[in-house]
Structure 1
Amino acid sequence: MRTILTTLGTGRARSLRAALTALLAAAVAVGAPFYFAPFQVFQLTMVLLYAVALAGLNLLVGFGGQISLGHGAFFAAGAYTAAVMLDRYDSAHLATLPVAAAGCFLLGLGFGVPALRLRGLYLALVTLSFAVFLPPLLKRLEPVTGGSMGLTVDKLQPPAWSGLAEDQWMYLVVLAVTAVALLLARNLLRSRVGRALLALRDDESAAEVMGVRLSLHKTLAFAWSAMFAGVAGCLYTWVIGFVSPDSFSFVLSITLLAGLVVGGLASLYGPLLGAAFVMYVPSVAQDVSDAAPGVVFGLLIIAVMFVAPTGLAGLAGRARDAATRRLTRTAPAAGRTPEPAPTTAPAADPAPADAEPVGAPPRTEKE
């Protein structure tokens, strides 16, 4: 291992390791629907679409430093955009995805205006109000949204040439969209927009002095976040085939925020871990206690945050760093030959303080 690192260099070794890890993860992800049962494939599909929504929320909260409790409303907007297009206009499934993304991006731009003057708890309260009043509004627009009964649409069906089952095809399509969304989020964070968001999160005054336009980037943060949520909502309509106002209450927004915090803020892998937490932990809580699953869910969140204060992504990073330090310490010691101990003559005992020098005349009694 030490020879490989010396030959390739640290940077190339890291790139090679990242590439091999990505290929292994892609192989496992593509092969998953052919190994698990249909219900388990459905759960994995939900994890992927929740990861898209959390990736957008991570841009706003984790990297932008702004609090939002209305992310579920953008999720609902994307879901209803796809459902209305499929039910009222008989559109193709793939045609609903760009429309939902563009519509939620514009909605996020308009909603980002209050973010210019509000921050902290005041901004969180405004975003929460958006998530609270949207479900009653959807019930009022019965000619378009179907009211309280919602809309039932056809699920995305596999083509005949694929030879895949419905759940397998749905999983692979959602996996492809999720991969593109996460790659887009990664590139955004490495661009000027991402650096501006990080500067705004750390110190707005210093960022403004350096030339960062606060109004532009705060609004864009909401727009990008809403776009990712709209894409996730569109995928939700494809997978479930049914939307109703009660499916998008304000509890969804709080659950998404809790999932992001548990997964890890400002982490590229946090949305995936948080999405798995959002999907699987409520079902585990339901199995533990049918009477009070919410209590079990809350206790599990507290336990996770106690063990990993920076989220599950931070816990994995700390474990990886500890293993790297351990390998770094043991690798040089393993290749080093022990040196023989030096053989030196024993040092002579120091003369006492009152000893007479050699050749000195004998002392008399007066001395």
Structure 2
Amino acid sequence: MSEARSRSEAPSGLVQAALARWQWILVGVLLVAACYAPFQLVPFRVFQLTMVLVYAIALLGLNLLVGHGGQISLGHGAFFAVGAYGAATMMFHWELPYPVTLPLAAVLAFVIGLALGVPATRLRGLYLALVTLAIAIFLVPLLKRFESVTGGSMGLTLAKPRPPAWTGLAEDQWLYFLALVVALAAFVVTSSLLRSRVGRALHSVRDNETAAEVMGVRLAFYKRLAFAWSAMFAGAAGCVYTWVIGFVSPDSFTVNLSITMLAGIVVGGLGSMWGPLLGGLFVMFVPSLSQDINKAAPGVIFGLLIIGVMYVAPTGLAGLAGRAAHSFDKTLRKG
């Protein structure tokens, strides 16, 4: 019986090893393509890819909170706005160099996320979703209120980072590579975090809070920490957004942004490292595609596209590869 069991488990191990090897190959190919793309595409397409990277950074944080932490947030766009306005204020009023604004905006969002994560220690499910939704709702009028700092309804216009002369890059290419470097750093940090004790604690809280507490996991601490880390990545993304757009206004950070981000990470694939990147593509291109299909009712098209994707891939787009690997594994077992 043990020999039969070892034979049945062998294909699974081979599949896992092959998948890991092909995943690294895919990462290498994507990195080469990402470095090659801005030299072959027109500036508008380069801008679109840059925004995909910006949204992917933000969705990394949301995936950490929802996919790995098992909590829910409808206010992620608010932390995105904190990073954007934090960077804009530092550049516009304090005239700080733009590289300095990235860590400061990330730390600012982290601290605010840590403070606003208090409800996460007491609430869950729909109640927590309503609290985070309230944060996103009152943010816009709050930004318009402090006109001397935020520019009010008119927003703030900023100079975009210019490429150093030695690079020989155009402005759109330079901004793209800035976003690419930040995105790569964010993916590396997230991957390391999930492999650490913090990641294991988050997974235990997500899977079974009672069992996690019995094992000594501090539920309140790790729930607040998940909110803080999630906010930090959103703040970093908001900072890069400010660099790329060169303009911030309250109307860019409405509740729709938070809802679209949540839809993006669900469609991309919760709990998957590929989910934020696929979700970034979704957030960037699907709303504009909906507008092109039907200018009268883009929201209807947007909703139908989400339903269609979730019907085909209920675990998200990243889950399609997992399902294919599972089917392949079953085929090998039968053979």
On whether the aligned pair clears a TM of 0.5, the verdict is yes
Partner of 1:350: none
1:73 correspondence with 2:78: yes
Q: Which has the higher contact order (CA 8 A, sep 6+)?
A: 2
- Counterpart residue type for residue 149 of structure 2: V
Rounded to whole Å, the distance in 1 between the matches of 2:244 and 2:330 is 44
Rounded to whole Å, the distance in 2 between the matches of 1:215 and 1:50 is 28
What per-residue deviation string (whole Å, max 9, x for no partner) do you get for residues 61-86 of structure 1? 11111111000000000000000011
1:98 correspondence with 2:103: yes
Partner of 1:132: 137
Could you tell me which of 229, 233, 238 is aligned with 1:233?
238
Q: State the identity as a percent.
A: 64
Partner of 1:208: 213
Could you tell me which of 81, 85, 105 is aligned with 2:90?
85
Could you tell me which of 290, 298, 304 is aligned with 2:303?
298
- Counterpart residue type for residue 220 of structure 1: L
Could you tell me which of 48, 64, 68 is aligned with 1:59?
64
- Counterpart residue type for residue 273 of structure 1: L
Q: What is the Cα deviation at residue 157 of structure 1?
A: 1.0
Partner of 1:335: none
Rounded to whole Å, the distance in 2 between the matches of 1:82 and 1:142 is 16
Partner of 2:115: 110
Partner of 1:251: 256
1:288 correspondence with 2:272: no
Rounded to whole Å, the distance in 2 between the matches of 1:75 and 1:301 is 23
Rounded to whole Å, the distance in 2 between the matches of 1:10 and 1:55 is 27
Q: Which runs of 5+ in 2 are unaligned?
A: 1-9
Rounded to whole Å, the distance in 2 between the matches of 1:280 and 1:169 is 22
1:173 correspondence with 2:165: no
Query: Is the helix fraction higher in 1 or 2?
Result: 2
Q: What is the Cα deviation at residue 116 of structure 1?
A: 0.9
Partner of 1:141: 146
1:276 correspondence with 2:285: no
What is the SS of the residue equivalent to 1:268?
coil
What per-residue deviation string (whole Å, max 9, x for no partner) do you get for residues 22-56 of structure 1? 22121111111011111111000000010010010
Partner of 1:336: none
- Counterpart residue type for residue 65 of structure 1: G
Q: What is the Cα deviation at residue 325 of structure 1?
A: 5.5
What is the SS of the residue equivalent to 2:153?
helix
Q: What is the Cα deviation at residue 316 of structure 1?
A: 2.5
Structure 1 pair 16/259, CA: closer, same or farther in 2 (3 Å)?
closer
The ranges of structure 1 where at least 4 consecutive aligned residues each deviate by more than 2 angstroms after the TM superposition are 9-22, 319-326
Paired residues of 2:15 and 2:325 also in contact (CA < 8 A) = no
- Counterpart residue type for residue 237 of structure 1: T
1:123 correspondence with 2:128: yes
- Counterpart residue type for residue 108 of structure 1: G
What per-residue deviation string (whole Å, max 9, x for no partner) do you get for residues 294-324 of structure 1? 1111110111111111111111322244356
Partner of 2:32: 27
- Counterpart residue type for residue 40 of structure 1: R
Rounded to whole Å, the distance in 2 between the matches of 1:14 and 1:206 is 31
Q: Which runs of 5+ in 1 are unaligned?
A: 333-367
Which entry has the higher C-alpha Rg, 1 or 2? Answer: 1
